[in-house]
Amino acid sequence: MRRTLAAIGLALSLGAAGAAQASPATDDFGRCLVKSTSSDDKTGLMIWVFTALSVHPAVKPYANVTDAQRTAASVATARLLERLITVDCKGEAVAAIRTDGPSSIQQAFSVLGQVAVGGLVQDPAVAKSMAQVTGQLDMSKFQALAAELMNAGTPK
């Protein structure tokens, strides 16, 4: 179970779907998770992911997250996961686990992670901050690549 919860965390933090093909039962579970979470719940999930990632040595110098904040985010997320899996989406969770096994939990939470991350990056301040990278690109390198592709023809 601990490994499954770690996988949920990874799925939420990356907002990426797993490689395995989900059955309709797992798809239903993912939809239920999205439907059953408010925007505050989704923001809380991203806060939890951020606080967890903030302990990584490469990120730690940039984050001022206290142990108390990290603990509060973990407690709030634990309550949310409990509610989603054992109350709001219990029937869907049972059906998905019976059909696809424990990996269905990670797959379903990947859907929720995508939605939560998508909502955060749509925030105008976040979008502006993320777009700063495009101003740092050497566009001549991309123009040269485009020219090379045009000269070589596109693959079929």
Confidence of residue 139 (pLDDT cuts 50, 70, 90): very high
Give residue 21's identity as a one-letter amino acid code: Q
CA distance 85 to 115: 17
* Range from 5-9, 18-22, 68-72, 147-151 that averages highest in pLDDT: 68-72
Question: Please, what is the end-to-end C-alpha distance for the chain in angstroms?
Answer: 45
Largest CA distance in the chain: 58
The pLDDT of residue 11: 56
Segment 111-116 mean pLDDT? 86
Which amino acid type is present at position 150? Answer: M
| pTM of the predicted model as reported, rounded to 2 decimal places | 0.73
Domain ranges of the chain: 2-124
82: number of Cβ within 10 Å = 11
Residue that has been written with the tokens 């990120």 in this structure: 59
pLDDT at 121: 81
Cα 109 to Cα 10: distance, rounded to the nearest angstrom: 9
pLDDT of 149 over the 60 cut: yes
Tokens of 147: 């020219």
Round to whole Å and give the CA distance between 34 and 38: 8
Burial profile 42-55: b = 16 or more Cβ within 10 angstroms, e = fewer: bebbbbbbbbbebe
Residue 151, number of CB atoms within 10 A of its CB? 7
Q: Which of 37, 24, 46 lies closest to 107, judged by CA?
A: 24
Average pLDDT in the chain = 86
Average pLDDT for residues 71-87, to the nearest whole number?
A: 96
Residue range 2-59, pLDDT digits in tens: 555 555 655 555 554 444 577 999 999 999 999 999 999 999 999 998 999 999 999 9
pLDDT at 117: 81
